[in-house]
Structure 1
């Protein structure tokens, strides 16, 4: 799914109206109906509670006016506030005239609202057309919205949050409980810096012209179920275990062997034909007992990987989980990395990344199209600090281009940065995944997919999607607080089934 900039969104709107032979008013009507339908589905109790709609002077405000009219037709009596202005958009003006005379209340930037103590507030002040931060004049209005004790939902964007671009700290922005955004996500809805203003979002289809969207050039994408389902490879009747590759996982150290157990189980659950786990001597019996499906190789060191004297002729190699960063492990890792054939399919996580950060000269020895999967702290060790998300993305793009690797930055809406500069944001996952070992599971998934022959980009995209989807399915039964990494691994099979069947 494309992520477009405001100019492209406007162009798609225009092409949609031309090709579908409708007016902008019709498109507004369609959008408002779709948004209201979803809001009611998510908040059925709202029809018995106070509803407040704040409308701006543009087309986002027009959406709010349409919703107000629809609610009136349903027998509801929403409180509707319209921004006082000398000029309104054409469709906004037309929709004002479709409401009962005298029904609208106008507000100025100094207005003190008397919001009810509960209910739903629908924010329709600014949409995707906002290109910069609101001035401080808007602060009193935004503060009153954010102080509302009920639920706040925003249409298309939280008012004050532009679709893209860095905004100064302290800018007036609505803190929405949910954003109902039209057709596709907007870039600032999937960036950590602005997560506080869009605690969740839902994509509302308004049947914009698909060809017009496809014709729009974009380097940012949102990995949803439809796009991910096309990546999954069907299994043929006469396949055998050799068909699906032999993966090697290297890691573990005294006290951290659980990371290798988690990664190994995830790799097998993801479908590689064979798995070998390379661990210190102390980990052999642990792996043999907990993951009987895996073969095990032992390093010469009792408590940590040291010699790394393992074969390299595997379908894919994942390295780093629970490995530690002892001097011996760093030296062994360095020798092993330098010895890898150029065509090796490599996944690096955790302490492998920390070793790279300590010895940056090793980055030049990474096989092309390696996948690195850092969490934000590990990323900062590789890239250095950044000022904000756009600065982080710029540095990540440069890193990937320089070393021809993929960076899978873990977090909410995990981000895959590609060597060609493409950005792919993930649609699955939840806060329950903020638990030890979740990243080890991802390493197993990624290594398994690479071993099965998935190209690096497809493996990273499908891997992070399945990882998040497995966690989402687990949370449906267990809740976010109780989710542990093993649960994610246990639900990988159901995640593949859900992806195949659709409906998520």
Structure 2
């Protein structure tokens, strides 16, 4: 799914109107009815007994709000409307004003007279806002943010730019939930904007698919439809060699569990063989903990030193629990130099930390190696950033200069391709913020590389499956109790769901 700019979205709206032979008001009515239905579906148990206030601006986002208010009233709900005073309403806004019996108008300095509880539907501004709101909006936005009920924003939290990062001092609505139209908006996906976007839903309002496909964008949102071309089905004549042999390289005294988690994840993701290359102290742990994995030992007892790994593996996943002893750094560097250009490698954890402290090693990375940093590891690699947009630009530069695929872990994990394309993930939940889930992701991506997936495809597919497995696990154990092993247990469920969909 493409993530589009404001100009592109406007173009798609206009093309949809032209192709379908409908008016802009009819498209607005369709979009508003879908928002209304979604609100009722999400809050049906509480919305019946509580007041609803819809705060509307002068443009088409305000027109959406007026339509939503009318539709809720027609369904028997207690709805009040607050509409900004203006001498220049949009045509569709005016048309929807005529269809409402009672509207309370307000100015920027007025008291909105909001109820003490219930629901507030924010329809002041949509995706068309081109600059941050001025200080004159502070009083209105502050009243909305002080509301004690749930604030539901339509398309965008008012005041937040479609492709920008909001400042704490900016007048921006802090939404409990955002109902955004057709495609996600870039700013809804950025961690810097989390104070304004608790969660969001993407509502299909029937915009023309071909018009959207004709738009060019470097930003993409990973959903199950995007994975349709990636999913491979197994031949009944295949064997374990068909699906590759991944070498998982890592571990040190006290951190052998990282390799065990990655090995289990790799097997559950479908590779034919898994070999763990670890220091001697981890031998019994791996052999007892995972009967299906093979083990190869380094000569050192408590950390890796030799990296005496035969070049026979389909892919390599390195760095998990590895540590940064002098011998490990030296051995890792020599091993990197021995790789050929076709080697498929995913690097995580201490492999990334070693690279950040020894930048000369970057030139030895095989083309399209996959790096999976969390925010602190990323900062060590690319340096400080001003905000999330700056972070993405610096990550694109790093990926291009080193010809690697970067997986920036976190909410809406971002995958950066050397070409500059960025893919944001749609699966996962806060319960996955626990030790070991990164090791699981490394095992998943290493497994997909071993099975023959190209680096970008392995990263996109792997991140989605990892998050989807975490979502299944959340449904069973909740967020607070979720651990990395739970994610591994639900990898089969994630893969089966994708297979059934396609």
TM-score, length-normalised on structure 2?
A: 0.99
- Give 1:435 deviation, angstroms: 0.2
Q: Shift of the alpha carbon at 1:498?
A: 1.4
DSSP 3-state at the match of 2:83 = strand
Secondary structure of the residue aligned to 1:427 is coil
C-alpha separation in 1, matches of 2:291 and 2:402: 37
Match of 1:51?
A: 52
| Unaligned 5+ runs, structure 2 | none
Aligned positions of 1:431-470 closer than 5 A = 431-470=430-469
Which residue is equivalent to 2:224? 225
In the other structure, the counterpart of 1:154 is 153
Tell me if structure 2 keeps the 8 A contact 1:132–1:167: no
Structure-to-structure mapping, 1:392-431, within 5 angstroms: 392-431=391-430
Question: Is 2:99 the counterpart of 1:98?
Answer: yes
Partner residue of 1:39? Answer: 39
What is the aligned partner in structure 1 of residue 243 from structure 2? 244
1:288 paired to 2:254: no
Separation in 2 of the partners of 1:169 and 1:42?
Answer: 29
The equivalent of 2:9 in structure 1 is 9
- Report the more deviating stretch, 135-144 or 163-172: 163-172
Query: What is the rounded CA distance, in whole Å, between the counterparts of 2:368 and 2:311 in structure 1?
Result: 17
Matches of 1:19 and 1:180, distance apart in 2: 25
Q: How many pairs does the alignment contain?
A: 501
Matches within 5 A, 1:67-466: 67-100=68-101, 103-466=102-465
Alpha-carbon distance in structure 2 between the residues aligned to 1:145 and 1:228:
39
Q: Distance in 2 between matches of 1:266 and 1:61?
A: 48
8 A contact 1:244–1:273 mirrored in 2: yes
1:260 Cα deviation after fit: 0.5
CA distance in 2, matches of 1:41, 1:273: 44
Partner-residue secondary structure (3-state), 1:394: helix
Counterparts of 1:501 and 1:206, CA distance in 2? 25
Distance (whole Å) between structure 1 residues aligned to residue 143 and residue 291 of structure 2:
59
In 2: Cα distance, 1:463 partner to 1:86 partner: 53
Q: CA deviation at 1:197?
A: 0.6
List structure 1 runs of 4+ shifted beyond 6 angstroms. none
Contact 2:85 2:106 in 1 (8 A): yes
What root-mean-square deviation, in Å, do the aligned CA atoms of Structure 1 and Structure 2 show? 1.0
Report what 2:20 is aligned to. 20
Deviation at 1:165, TM superposition (A): 2.6
Query: How far apart, CA to CA, are the structure 2 residues paired with 1:178 and 1:38?
Result: 11
**Length-normalised TM-score, structure 1:** 0.98
Q: Distance in 1 between matches of 2:77 and 2:328?
A: 68
Report the Cα offset of residue 169 of structure 1. 4.1
The Cα of 1:160 is off from its aligned counterpart by: 0.6
CA distance in 2, matches of 1:93, 1:215: 32
Aligned partners of 1:75 and 1:373: how far apart in 2? 51
SS at 1:43's partner residue?
Answer: helix
The 8 Å contact of residues 166 and 192 in structure 2, kept in 1 or not, is answered as: no
Q: Post-superposition shift, 1:422?
A: 0.2
Tell whether the 8 Å contact from 1:57 to 1:88 is kept in structure 2 after alignment.
yes
Contact 1:56 1:82 in 2 (8 A): yes
Q: Cα distance, 1:48 vs. partner?
A: 2.4
Shift of 1:231: 1.4
- 1: CA distance between counterparts of 2:166 and 2:143? 21
Asked if the contact 2:251–2:258 (Cα under 8 Å) also holds between the matched residues in 1, the reply is: yes
1:489 corresponds in structure 2 to 488
